[in-house]
Each structure stands twice: as structure tokens, then as C-alpha cells.
Chains A and B, each alone.
Chain A
Amino acid sequence: MISKIKYILVGIIFFSNTYAEDFDNQRYQNLIEEIRCMVCQNQNIAESEAPLAVDLREKVKEMLLDGKSNIYIKNYLTDRYSDFILYDPPKNTQTALLWLGPVLFLVIITYLFYSRRER
């Protein structure tokens, strides 16, 4: 019984240490996977070891520790590197067709498919 408690205590201490820093690692990982490495343009900065990718990861980490929001961080990057630095294109009226395109395409193809079958 006492040894079980000891194990549980050790477990709690161990896991509380990994979350002790005020740093949301999951959020950091998600963010850096959405940012393009501008040097090797087909890699995100999580994957790339180019010096710029290293610098960008550092900067993102800094801003997270500084309490900045995801939107702030993304704007910081697009203000300097253009929208292209993010893998997701911006969501505005100009890109509406880009975002809705695949859905529209699917609808059209489905329509064509089913109207053929009725014969």
C-alpha cells in the first residue's frame, strides 16, 4: 500500500515537472508546423535545420513566452515575410474561392456522377 502511494507520488512529481514551465509546448509545435521555411520552401520550420528556421523557431518561442497570441505571432511573420510564410492561405474575400473550391468541386462531381446513374 505504502509503495503504491510512493509510486503515485513519484508519478505526480515527474509529470508536474514537465508542465512546470509556463510554456505551452503543444501550441508551439502546432505553430511551427504551420510556418514555412522560406529558405527551403517545401519544409516547415519544425522540420528544417536551415539557420533561418532555427532563428524563426527561437523567435516564435520568445513570443509565446512573452504571452503573445497565435494571431499576433502569425501577423508578426506575415508583416515581414508576406502571407507566403504561412502554409494556410489567408481567409478573406479574395481567397474565398480557394478555400471553397474543393467543396464546390466535390459537389459538382457528385452531381455529375448521380445524374448519370439515373439513366
Chain B
Amino acid sequence: MNLQKNISFIVFAIFFIILSIGLFTDTKKIQSPLINKKLPEIVLPDLKSQNMISHNFLPKETFLLNVWASWCQACIVEHEKIKNLSNKGIKIVGVNYKDQREDAIGWLSIYGNPYLFSYSDKEGRLGLELGVYGVPETFIIGEDGIIKDKIVGPITDEIINKRIDPLFRKNND
């Protein structure tokens, strides 16, 4: 009788622990399966000129690929950080995601344009290839074209310190 009571309790305790862990897991922090994969070849036009951008125009050094849109509130908040990073010398390429060209260009003239250029991903096809679901999203691309990290949500100082700076520090040494 005691043994059965103990077994019952242990089974209950195990389930309690497992479910508690699940309850406190932030599902938005899942690591992207694209990390350590090569950045797929991008075949999209430039936002301003609407000409197709050759793959050669991507920076040959470690750079940031920032997915943004004029309809995205969090992008306005993040944009200050993006401009700061650009001022520090970090190359940033934009992906204008599911947006209207006029709105996007207007947004850049209001909030500033730190991007080398922005791809126009009107249909969100590049977004699908990159597993985008929560704009803004930022990819750190290594000089070998490998995706080193993917940041979902706006960039914060903490993210800059912990995830961005370390990957760029090597270049400055």
C-alpha cells in the first residue's frame, strides 16, 4: 500500500516537473534551424531603383541582414539601434518585407536610412525562405555567407552586447 502510494506520488511529481518546465518555456526563443546554413541566393529588386540586385552587391565581410517594414511598430523602436550599429561601421542590408514601395521609401526618409540598400520582398517569398515570422528580424551573416545567428524581434542593447558585438569583434582585431 505504501509502495503504491509512493509510486503514485512519484508519477505525479514527474508530470508536475515536466509540465512546469513546459509552462515556463518561451516558445518564441526557439533557435532557428537556419543557423550555420548558407544564406540562400537572393533574387529580388532594389527598393528604390527597382533593378534586380546582383549577389555581388552583398558585403564580403560579416554583415547584418535586417528584415523591416513600414507597418511594423517595433521597427521604429529598433531603428535607433540599427543606425547606431551602422555608425559603428557595421554594414547593414535591409529586406523590406510585404510592404508598399511608397510607404517604405517614405518611412526611410522619416526615420533614416542606414542600409547599404534594401531588397523589396513584396510577396514575402524571401521571408519564407528565411523562416521569418516576427518582424523585425535580423540575421548575422558571416564573410563566408553562412548565417551565424538569427534575432527575432527588435534589437536591444543586451542583444547587441551578447550576440552582435562578439561576432563583429573578430573583424576589428
Contact = CB atoms under 8 A, between A and B. Distances in A.
Contact of B124 (A51, A108, A112): A51
Interface stretch (B31-39, B55-63, B81-89, B163-171): B31-39
Contact of B4 (A41, A52, A55, A116): A116
Given A80-B130, A81-B133, A112-B4, A105 B27 contact: no
Q: Which of A51, A80, A81, A116 has the most CB of B within 10 A?
A: A80
Contacts of A112: 4, 7-8
B11 interface: yes
Given A39-B133, A51-B124, A80 B34 contact: yes
B67 to A, nearest CB: 12
A29 B131 CA distance: 22
B134 A81 contact: no
Contact of B30 (A51, A84, A105, A116): A84
B31 A82 contact: yes
Contacts of A115: 4
Interface in A66-119: 78-82, 84, 105, 108-109, 112, 115-116
B133 A38 contact: yes
A105 B11 contact: yes
A28 B30 CA distance: 27
B128 interface: yes
Contact of A81 (B4, B98, B124, B131): B131
B7 A108 contact: yes
B27 A41 contact: yes
Interface in B5-28: 7-8, 11, 15, 27
B129 interface: yes
Contacts of A51: 98, 124
Contacts of B133: 38-39, 52, 81
6 contacts: A55-B128, A78-B33, A82-B30, A82-B131, A105-B11, A115-B4
Given A41-B27, A82-B131, A108-B11, 15 more contacts: A39-B134, A52-B124, A52-B133, A55-B127, A55-B128, A56-B128, A78-B33, A80-B128, A81-B33, A82-B32, A82-B33, A84-B27, A105-B11, A112-B7, A115-B4
Interface of A: 38-39, 41, 51-52, 55-56, 59, 78-82, 84, 105, 108-109, 112, 115-116
